[in-house]
Chains A and B, each alone.
Chain A
Amino acid sequence: MTKELVAAAILILIPIAAFINIGYIERTTDYLMEQIDSASEQMLSGDTDSASETLENAYAEWQSHDRYAHIMLRHDEVVAVSEAFSDLRSELQGGDASPVLFEALRERLRGLLEMELPSFESVL
């Protein structure tokens, strides 16, 4: 009976853990988006150095979640975000960056969260 109770408890805990995980991704992506928005505004106001620094901070934050990302998230999505960061960083270091690259990075981060959200189709 203990085995069955433990199994039932795990089955209850898994959806709870899934929602905690979604909350964690949401907080992480929200924070990164705020940083990217700030960097975008700084760049538009002509302060490229601050924009580059803000983006570097955002990238460092993203890198700090690397292990978690590779265990929990699809590797293709993780690589796509890292590549979008790299593209934007290299453009900014050159002194200019297209708003399209900012939007591409935001889109990749939004995609991370959307992939993890449960939907009727994913449950079926």
Chain B
Amino acid sequence: MIVFLTLLLAMRLMGKRQLGELEISELVVAVLISNFAAHPLQDISVPLMNGIMPIIILLCCEIIIAGIVLKSTRARAIICGKPSILVSNGKIDQQQMLKNRFTLDELAEELRNQGILDISTIQYAVLETDGKLNVVQYPAERPVSPSQLGLEAPNTTYPIIVINNGHLLDRNLRLTGRDENWLKAELKRRKVRGVSDVYYMTVDTQGNIYFAEKERKK
């Protein structure tokens, strides 16, 4: 339990970025931490401290490395590597493909994942340090934006969750600039008895409301 909580805390302290996009150093730390954490859980002769101490040391190292990488671009290039341009102006850079051990099949697969079938429509394809391939198509191949068509797109605002599964989120309600009296009036207008009968409700700063009532049990 203590090892599990330490592990949760360590992953939390390493930040949200870890979950989706692991850099090389972060991947090494994540693999090592999981291994160290499993050790005292599997082998009861291992003392608790032997499981926790390596996690703390690795966490500290990772935090320091992340701090250095954030401050120094040179350190970032050394520790995390540099992005590689695999396709430039429609031409595949074979040297870069070889250097990154990226096969043509992998390139084609990545492009298909992004809905691109024709390599000649690609202006740039960049292999990022976390292993993701970012593709920029020629302007003629890109989706048309409202501004290119001379259209005025309406401003959209971020919807804030006010009621989540029957629970009122006071702080969020205040963020929308509204109060409980307004909410009561809205619920009354929708013929809902109270907050507990609402499954999901969002409000944006322009006053647009998304409302979903809780389904009644059959």
* A residues adjacent to B (C-beta < 8 A): 1, 3-4, 6-8, 10-11, 14, 70-76
Can you spell out 18 A-B residue pairs with CB atoms less than 8 angstroms apart?
A3-B63, A4-B64, A4-B67, A7-B59, A7-B60, A7-B61, A7-B64, A11-B60, A14-B53, A14-B56, A14-B57, A70-B47, A70-B48, A71-B47, A71-B49, A73-B47, A75-B47, A76-B45
CB 8 Å contact bits of B151-175 with A (1 = contact, 0 = none): 0000000000000000000000000
**CB-nearest residue of chain A to B70:** A4
CA gap between A74 and B45 in the complex, in Å: 6
Smallest distance from the beta carbon of B71 to chain A beta carbons, Å? 9
Smallest distance from the beta carbon of A67 to chain B beta carbons, Å? 11
The total of chain B residues at the interface (CB under 8 A) is 17
Smallest distance from the beta carbon of A123 to chain B beta carbons, Å? 13
User: A10 near B56 (CB under 8 angstroms)?
Assistant: yes
Q: Does B78 contact A (CB under 8 A)?
A: no
Q: Does B46 contact A (CB under 8 A)?
A: yes
Q: Which residues of A contact B1 (CB under 8 A)?
A: none
- The main secondary structure of chain A at its interface with chain B is helix
CA gap between A14 and B54 in the complex, in Å: 11
Given contacts A1-B67, A3-B67, A14-B53, contact A8 B47 (CB under 8 A): no
Q: Does B44 contact A (CB under 8 A)?
A: yes
Contact of A11 among B46, B47, B61, B67 (CB under 8 A): B61
Contact of B60 among A8, A74, A75 (CB under 8 A): A8
Contact of A10 among B44, B60, B67 (CB under 8 A): B60
**CB-nearest residue of chain B to A9:** B60
Given contacts A4-B63, A4-B64, contact A71 B57 (CB under 8 A): no
Q: Which residues of A contact B61 (CB under 8 A)?
A: 7, 11
**CB-nearest residue of chain B to A12:** B60
* Besides A14-B57, A71-B47, 14 new A-B residue pairs in contact (Cβ under 8 A), listed by A number: A3-B13, A3-B63, A7-B61, A8-B60, A10-B60, A11-B61, A11-B64, A71-B49, A72-B49, A74-B46, A74-B47, A74-B50, A75-B45, A76-B45
User: B64 near A75 (CB under 8 angstroms)?
Assistant: no
Smallest distance from the beta carbon of B15 to chain A beta carbons, Å? 10
Smallest distance from the beta carbon of B67 to chain A beta carbons, Å? 4
Using a CB-CB cutoff of 8 Å, which residues 20-49 of chain B contact chain A?
44-49
User: B57 near A11 (CB under 8 angstroms)?
Assistant: yes
CA gap between A71 and B63 in the complex, in Å: 26
CA gap between A75 and B45 in the complex, in Å: 5
**CB-nearest residue of chain B to A1:** B67
User: A8 near B49 (CB under 8 angstroms)?
Assistant: no
**CB-nearest residue of chain B to A78:** B47
Q: Which residues of B contact A6 (CB under 8 A)?
A: 63
CA gap between A1 and B46 in the complex, in Å: 35
Q: Which residues of B contact A75 (CB under 8 A)?
A: 44-47
**CB-nearest residue of chain B to A71:** B48
